[in-house]
Structure 1
Amino acid sequence: MRRVYDPPAATDGCRVLVDRLWPRGLTREAAQVDHWLRELAPSNELRKWFAHEAARWAEFRHRYGEELQAPAAAEALTELRRLIATQPVLTLLYGARDSAHNNAEALRQWLQGKPAG
């Protein structure tokens, strides 16, 4: 995982942005994003409710996990799983300042089957 605003590293491999909105002030060339799977981002309602408040982290992860199981995310999840299976290295990119409480971290934990509580 890496913040999309950080300079790309040679070790990043395939870079996958999982935010719904394109990072403000960042060009596509500077971001060096290989895939943008915006359908994997939390809904606008959930994102606004969470507001990156650490106290809401467990509940955010739970609600986000429910959204990831909805039909709207199925195609993007299939694509992400294909990339994970075929790429030697894959980096999830996010725009949030908080490296511990963001949707990419929640997605990583959800993919690994870690419970939200």
Structure 2
Amino acid sequence: MTTYVTKRIYEPAAESDGYRVLVDRLWPRGVSKQKAALDAWAKDLAPSTELRRWFGHVPERFEEFAKRYRAELDDNPALPEAREIWEQHERVTLLYGARDETHNEAVVLRDFLT
């Protein structure tokens, strides 16, 4: 069974991260591809541009953001293929660029997958 965890992409990569996937639609500022040490960039699974802009990382909007993002995930044709790949690994680290560790798309995606 795959364990899904979240981590800021600005934190150093670690062996314990397992399979590292960036789940932001935009590449994070100041992070080189080498430093990111990604196995995949799942920008097709990130929230839509409209939803991301509406949310604006305002914590009071997080509950509604999560609801809307889960609806997007339900209809996302890229999810089954990504899930099939991810489930071949014991641990998948969902990487995000947001400062807020509890109110971001990686948290919603992790909870959606589990």
Same fold flag (TM > 0.5): yes
Q: Is the 8 A contact 1:17 1:33 kept in 2?
A: yes
- Letter aligned with residue 39 of structure 1: D
Residue 84 of structure 1 and its aligned partner are, at CA, apart by 2.9
Verify: 1:99 aligned to 2:101, yes or no.
yes
**Separation (CA, whole Å) in 2 of partners of 1:67 and 1:85:** 21
Q: What does residue 74 of structure 1 align with?
A: 77
Equivalent runs, 1:1-80 vs 2, <5 Å: 1-70=6-75, 73-75=76-78, 77-80=79-82
Residue 78 of structure 1 and its aligned partner are, at CA, apart by 1.8
Which 5+ residue runs of structure 1 have no aligned equivalent?
113-117
Verify: 1:88 aligned to 2:93, yes or no.
no
**Over aligned residues, Cα RMSD in angstroms?**
1.0
- Letter aligned with residue 69 of structure 1: D
| 1:75-110 deviations in Å (ceiling 9; x for gaps) | 2x1233113321121100000000000000011112
Q: Normalising to structure 2: TM-score of the pair? A: 0.90
Which 5+ residue runs of structure 2 have no aligned equivalent?
1-5
Select the structure with the greater relative contact order (CA < 8 A; seq sep ≥ 6): 2
**Separation (CA, whole Å) in 2 of partners of 1:84 and 1:28:** 20
Which consecutive segments of 4 or more residues in structure 1 shift more than 3 A? none
| 1:38-85 deviations in Å (ceiling 9; x for gaps) | 011101111011111111111001110111122xx212x123311332
- Letter aligned with residue 41 of structure 2: W
- Letter aligned with residue 90 of structure 2: P
Q: What does residue 115 of structure 1 align with?
A: none
**Separation (CA, whole Å) in 2 of partners of 1:68 and 1:88:** 22
Q: Is the 8 A contact 1:52 1:102 kept in 2?
A: yes
Q: What does residue 111 of structure 1 align with?
A: 113
